[in-house]
A = this chain, B = another copy of it.
Amino acid sequence: MPSADAAFELLICKLERLTRLTDADRAALQELPSKIEIFAADQLLVREGDRPADCCLLLGGYACRYKMTEAGDRQIVSFHMAGDLLDIQHLMLERADHSIATVTQAEVCWVPAANVKALLQARPAINEALWRDALIDASIFREWVLNVGRRSATSRIAHMLCELATRREAAGLGAPEASDLPLTRQQIAQATGLSTVHVTRVLGDLSNQRVLTPPDCPIRIIDWERMCQVGEFNGLYLHAA
């Protein structure tokens, strides 16, 4: 069970990658009330239409945001990993316009939204860090619109995997070519707007070309260069330092 101290350590670490914090900022963060909880894979954290009262910090594992069509098809709109703030939007917007769920088993830290919101006014540096974080989030959504709208199935999948691996590295979770990406074909399909069957075929191709690990292993990028080429991946939109 992760401790609250470790949680704020992670958060401070994340915010310091976005801006410079003072000791007072760090202290203010550490004094936030918090509640830690562990979820199994595929559990709902926030439901579309809710009015969440808590802000959710992901401590470990993976999560995603998604929306549904009327026909019941799921579109994943982003993936998240340790250190990510899953719902700054609910600080300022009444109702959740999308759902949030775990992808793998995950540890989560809940902080009352009102307390975080108070920090935005009281601590300019924290305001700035969270602004940056929210704007980078939006930049990633823009890239996803491009990815899903204009690229071939193969590029799309490659691009998405490159993004995840790059963000893992930026979050200090290991180099791209050393990161297992814990996604099922269904989840990849839901994130890229493809069918599960087609994802299977494309991943098979990428494995045959020795760009990805074989189909029966956890997904990992073997040939980073080639993968970036295939996915037209250029990480500038992630605005990492």
Contacts and interface: CB of A to CB of B under 8 A. Distances in A.
Interface of A: 49, 65, 67, 69-70, 73, 75, 77-78, 88-89, 91-95, 97-98, 120-121, 124, 127-128, 131-132, 134-139, 141-146, 148-151, 192-193, 232, 236-237, 239
The 6 closest A-B CB pairs, nearest first, are A149-B193, A141-B141, A97-B237, A138-B138, A148-B149, A75-B146
Contact of A69 (B139, B141, B150): B150
Contacts of A98: 139, 142, 237
Contacts of A134: 131, 134-135, 138
Given A77-B146, A97-B143, 8 more contacts: A65-B142, A67-B145, A75-B145, A75-B150, A91-B131, A92-B131, A141-B144, A148-B148
A239 B75 contact: no
A77 B67 CA distance: 18
Copies per complex of this chain: 2
Given A127-B127, A138-B89, A67 B146 contact: yes
Nearest to A74: B150
A65 B145 CA distance: 11
Nearest to A239: B93
A141 B144 CA distance: 9
A230 B74 CA distance: 18
Contacts of A239: 93-95, 97
21 contacts: A49-B236, A69-B150, A69-B232, A75-B146, A77-B142, A77-B146, A88-B135, A91-B131, A93-B136, A93-B239, A97-B143, A97-B236, A97-B239, A120-B131, A121-B127, A141-B145, A144-B145, A145-B148, A148-B148, A148-B149, A149-B192
Nearest to A133: B92
Contacts of A141: 138, 141-142, 144-145
Given A142-B77, A142-B98, A192-B149, A135 B93 contact: yes
Nearest to A120: B127
B124 A67 contact: no
A93 B70 CA distance: 36
A192 to B, nearest CB: 7
A188 to B, nearest CB: 12
